[in-house]
Amino acid sequence: MLSLSQATIETFLDELWSIDGLSDNTLNAYRTDLSLLACFLAAQRIELKQAGKQDLRDYLGWRKDKGFAKSSSARVLSAMRRFFGYLLEKTIIQLDPCVELSAPKRDRKLPGTLSEQDVERLLAEPDPEDTLECRDQAMLELLYATGLRVTELVGLTLDQISLRQGVVRVVGKGGKERLVPIGEMASASLERYLVSARELLLGGQSADVVFPSSQGRMMTRQTFWHRIKRYALRAGIHGDISPHTLRHAFATHLLNHGADLRVVQLLLGHSSLSTTQIYTHVAKLRLAQLHSEHHPRG
């Protein structure tokens, strides 16, 4: 026979299924999360629907002490909010104990990156004598030189690039524009591509996009991702390589060579410095490495 708390949980899940049509996986996750909460409260002689705000805080604190993942506890809080919101709507309770409860902040993980040597190998892999690979090399060089998002890269138009001034005008998230220096190596690769390969790719068609596909249209992000994977395999570089890997390598290597974090923020097009703060870990690791290598008591 179901306990009173478990029976309330099942009634709640039945309503979720009938009204929201949630999947079995989601319903089972809610069942597990709420049942574990009910067991925790039962050990303290508290029925689930009688739980107060401090009881729920104690439970989240217990999960933290037990080493539950922050992402898991965030999901639990979501389940609790829906459950106690349901009880409030049904007037089973008068106050929602989840008010003012906040989910634990998730640890921000650095995306994968490449060493400078790996980047050199990757950039050298495309054959500039091949039409498609000449285009790809220009794209890779430009991506590493500017740290563009892949959507910004594949969507570039001719009027956004000035080889004479050595800059690219990027239209980023929210329509915000920024100017990013291209650099000599990327400029040379881009000029070679524009002079020799681009017209061949277009096949007589007219288009503003800088890097057309083999059909003369704007390339998709997925196509470019597959092209990068291909060159990484040819260069013997293993791991999860994507366009964002080069964007991260751009930021990491700038910091390793002494660039200011705020400069990196502007180049990446981050609206807030807090978004760029994840790269401070890179700078600290580099400082520790330099100290270890060069300090007499390192």
Kindly list the domain boundaries of the chain, sorted by start residue.
4-89, 116-294
Catalytic residue among 169, 244, 281, 286: 244
Catalytic residue among 135, 198, 247, 253: 247
CATH of domain 4-89: 1.10.150.130
Query: Domain 116-294: what homologous superfamily?
Result: Intergrase catalytic core (1.10.443.10)
DSSP letters along the chain, please?
A: ---HHHHHHHHHHHHHHHHH---HHHHHHHHHHHHHHHHHHHTTT--GGG--HHHHHHHHHHHHHTT--HHHHHHHHHHHHHHHHHHHHTTS-SS-TTTT--PPPPPPPPPP---HHHHHHHHHSS-TTSHHHHHHHHHHHHHHHH---HHHHHT-BGGGEETTTTEEEEE-GGG-EEEEE--HHHHHHHHHHHHHTHHHHHTT----BSSB-TTSSBPPHHHHHHHHHHHHHHTT--S---HHHHHHHHHHHHHHTT--HHHHHHHHT-SSHHHHGGGHHHHHHHHHHHHHHH-TT-
Predicted TM-score (pTM) above 0.75: no
Q: Which residue has the tokens 């992402």?
A: 71
How open is the CA angle 214-219-221, to the nearest 5 degrees? 140
The question of whether 86 is a catalytic residue gets the answer no
The question of whether 90 is a catalytic residue gets the answer no
Catalytic residue among 135, 198, 227, 270: 270
pLDDT of the chain along its 298 residues, tens only?
A: 446 678 888 888 888 887 776 677 888 888 999 999 999 999 989 988 889 989 988 888 888 888 887 777 778 888 889 899 989 988 999 988 998 787 665 555 555 678 889 999 999 999 999 999 999 999 999 999 888 989 899 999 999 999 998 889 988 776 778 888 888 999 999 999 999 999 999 988 888 999 999 888 889 989 999 999 999 999 999 878 888 888 888 888 888 888 777 777 778 877 655 555 555 555 555 555 644 555 455 4
The question of whether 284 is a catalytic residue gets the answer no
The question of whether 247 is a catalytic residue gets the answer yes
Catalytic residue among 149, 198, 248, 253: 149
What whole-number distance in Å separates Cα of residue 298 and Cα of residue 288? 9
The question of whether 270 is a catalytic residue gets the answer yes
Catalytic residue among 173, 176, 226, 291: 173
Q: Which residue has the tokens 């319903």?
A: 27
The question of whether 253 is a catalytic residue gets the answer no
